[in-house]
Amino acid sequence: MEKIDTSPRVRQITWAGIWVNLVLSIVKILAGVFGMSKALIADGIESGADIITSLVLVAGSKFWNAPPDVNHPYGHRRIETIITFGIGLVVGVVGVSIIVNSIGSLRTGTNSQPTLLALVVAIISVLSKEALFQWSVREGRKIKSMAVVANAWHHRSDAISSIPVVFAVGFAQFFPQWTFLDAVGALVAAGFILKASIDIIMPALREIADTGASAETVEKISAIAQSVEGVRSIHALRTRLVGSNIHVDLHIVVDPDITVMAGHLIGDKVTDTLKDQEPEVLDVLVHIDPSPDM
């Protein structure tokens, strides 16, 4: 079964996020300026960073779904891995930036008293970005795109970074002397953002290091291959993660008295069955071994 090109859906999901982020970025920066909130201005800039990573995702989706060519005989799926890794780095940089700025504000005591406008916009930002995260991560898992899921977590990092703004501005309405909570809350949010960065980067690093599929998936692949008629047993089963997909190599043991053509057809059946029953399997290399039993 031929794999479906998911790049149009990836671009559709990502463009939706781009437009939401563009509106939020402009609104938060303006509300930060007129609402006397440095945190909201920084939050608006962080939403702008989302736009950059999303544009990279839109451009990259065209390439990783391209068919194999002379220079890339195994396809271009690793481009998705590279983009995922890049998104994780950007999320991490945002978290570190928030930490640095927050520590600077605590040390200098340069915390202004935000207005109600900043509070309203911050609440809208949290709700809209969380909704965008939930939709994006659901769609990303549906089309099995690790890059879309990674970008969805970037949306959530933006929502998390807005939460301290909500609390800081809210408390400032009643306790003007507590404006330092803006920086303290930002430090807490930065911790969650850094965790999201690690959660995005680690799977990409494992894939770059040629980590195989999970033990559960390997066991399932083995069972499917052995269920094919004509296969007596299998061995030397290896898997490799490539983007959101899996490449499989395995040896199948068949009756030594059958013809080469019959063995070849059994191998083709193993390939087709694996692709049909395990959607993540993109390519299968089957080696035919004669059974030692005479």
pLDDT at 274 exceeding the cut of 90: yes
Q: What is the average pLDDT across 241-267?
A: 89
Asked if 96 and 194 touch (Cβ cutoff 8 Å), the reply is yes
Look at residue 220 in the predicted model and tell me its pLDDT: 93
Fold classification of 215-290 (topology level): Alpha-Beta Plaits (3.30.70)
Asked if 65 and 7 touch (Cβ cutoff 8 Å), the reply is yes
Look at residue 239 in the predicted model and tell me its pLDDT: 92
CATH number of 7-208: 1.20.1510.10
Q: Which residues of 58-78 are buried (b: 16+ CB within 10 A; e: fewer)?
A: bebbeebbeeeeeeeeebbbb
Confidence of residue 233 (pLDDT cuts 50, 70, 90): very high
Residue extents of the structural domains in the chain: 7-208, 215-290
